[in-house]
Amino acid sequence: MIQIAIVGAGPSGCYLAQALLKAVPGAHIDILDRLPVPFGLVRYGVAPDHQGTKAVARQFARLFEKQGVGFIGNVTLGQEGEGGTLSLSELQSAYDVVVLALGLPKDRALPLPGAALPGVIGAGQLTRHWNDHPDDSASLPDLGRRVVIVGQGNVAIDVLRILAKRAEHFDGSDLAHRHSDHIAAAGIESIDILGRSPAHEAKFDPVMVKELAKLPHMGFAFEGLAHSGAASQDDARLEALANLPAAADHDIRVTFHFGATPTRLTGTDRVSAAQFDCDGAELSLPCDTVVSAIGFETHVPGLRDDLLAGAEDAALGVLRPGLYAAGWFARGPRGTIPENRQAAQALAARIAQDLGTLPKTSKTGAAALAARLSGLTDYAGWQRIDAAELAACDAGRVRAKVADLTDMLTLAAGRAQDHPETET
**What is the Cα–Cα distance from 228 to 200, expressed in whole angstroms?**
6
Q: What is the DSSP letter of 47?
A: -
Residue 405: its H or E element? helix 405-412
Q: Is 155 annotated as a binding residue?
A: yes
* Cβ–Cβ under 8 Å, residues 233 and 289: no
Q: Is 154 annotated as a binding residue?
A: yes
Q: Is 340 annotated as a binding residue?
A: no
Q: Is 77 annotated as a binding residue?
A: yes
Helix ranges, 193-258 (H): 206-212, 236-242
Q: What is the DSSP letter of 105?
A: -
Spacing of C-alpha 50 from chain mean position:
13
Closest CA to 35 of 13, 8, 15: 8
Q: Is 285 annotated as a binding residue?
A: no
**What is the Cα–Cα distance from 346 to 330, expressed in whole angstroms?**
13
Query: Strand (E) positions, 167-270?
Result: 190-195, 218-223, 252-258, 261-267
**What is the Cα–Cα distance from 239 to 423, expressed in whole angstroms?**
44
**What is the Cα–Cα distance from 40 to 100, expressed in whole angstroms?**
13
Q: Is 10 annotated as a binding residue?
A: no
Helix, strand, coil percentages in the chain from 3-state DSSP, rounded to 5: 35, 20, 45
Direct distance between the N- and C-terminal alpha carbons of the chain, in angstroms, rounded to an integer = 46
Q: Count CB-CB contacts under 10 A for residue 211.
A: 16
Under DSSP, is residue 106 helix (H, G, I), strand (E, B) or coil?
strand
Q: Is 335 annotated as a binding residue?
A: yes
Q: State how beta strands 120-122 and 289-292 pair.
A: parallel
Q: Is 121 annotated as a binding residue?
A: no
**What is the Cα–Cα distance from 422 to 67, expressed in whole angstroms?**
34
Annotated binding site: 12, 41, 77, 152-155, 328, 335-337
Annotated binding site for FAD: 12, 41, 77, 328, 335-337
Annotated binding site for NADP(+): 152-155, 335
